[in-house]
Structure 1
């Protein structure tokens, strides 16, 4: 059976892994949005209407999910920081440990929500990109005919 200290250490490791993964994912997802919109805007006049509408709907869905999670995370962080500020207003010998506990718990809670948002964000974003790729390949094939 694991001791409370071991469990706390595991929670801190999970929280740190989440923070690192989330930061990396945000950079990749943001770069994907920039790339998609740059390509989409330059090809929009040459795309069939179904491709414009379906890829647009998918990428907007992806963006809404991504932004919703970021807003959730912002609100969660604000509430956590308020709890930290309350703890700092009446410090005692456990204040530092309590702040660490609050930060770890916030990260763990965000990680639980993150997994349910990152998957649909990526799937809908990749779906939008695949539509552009299919249109490109269809046009490429037609040019050889």
Structure 2
């Protein structure tokens, strides 16, 4: 019985560690994405007279879609988190019962698991459209470099 309790404590510690690691990963991803958007928009805005109009607008559309996915997720997460906090507060406000801690922990784990799944539905299109915009610009610049070296017209 002691071994079962020890294993349960270790599993609980691993679950808590995993939740912290996931939270840190999400925060880091958000930081990278925000820095990427700022850099892309700063650079892209200087190109209006330097690249073909179709490329300027295509890249603008793609990066704006990417940013829209990202902001949409952050807004959904904000409201969803507030709702979750109200639910967990209600659990904690109940009369003292033996299983209240378990209920609370289960609610937190369920929320984190659901949030991770939904987050991927926004992250993937956000990253793909952002990368496509960057690839289009890099491709254009690479083509122009090759033409300059070969003296293309």
State which drifts further: 74-83 or 92-101.
92-101
Which runs of structure 1 show a deviation greater than 6 angstroms over 4 or more consecutive aligned residues? Answer: 6-10
Is residue 58 of structure 2 the alignment partner of residue 15 of structure 1? Answer: no
Distance in structure 1 (CA, Å) of the matches to 2:122 and 2:15: 21
TM-score, normalising length: structure 1: 0.82
Distance (whole Å) between structure 2 residues aligned to residue 122 and residue 52 of structure 1:
19
Identify the residue that residue 80 of structure 1 maps to in structure 2. 84
Secondary structure (helix, strand or coil) at the match of 1:45 reads coil
| CA RMSD, 1 decimal | 2.5
Instruction: After TM superposition, give the deviation of residue 95 of structure 1 in Å.
Output: 3.9
Higher relative contact order (CA 8 A, sep 6+): 1
Instruction: Judge conservation of contact 1:44–1:52 (CA < 8 Å) in 2.
Output: yes
Residue 11 of structure 1 contacts residue 108 of structure 1 at CA under 8 Å; is this kept in 2? no
Q: Are the counterparts in 2 of residues 12 and 104 from structure 1 also a CA contact under 8 Å?
A: no
1:71 Cα deviation from its structure 2 partner: 1.5
Q: Name which of 92, 115, 119 aligns with 2:96.
A: 92
- Structure 1: which 5+ residue stretches go unaligned? none
1:133 pairs with 2:133: no
Tell me how far apart the structure 2 counterparts of residues 15 and 111 of structure 1 sit (CA, whole Å): 11
For the Cα contact (< 8 Å) 2:47–2:56, is it kept in 1? no
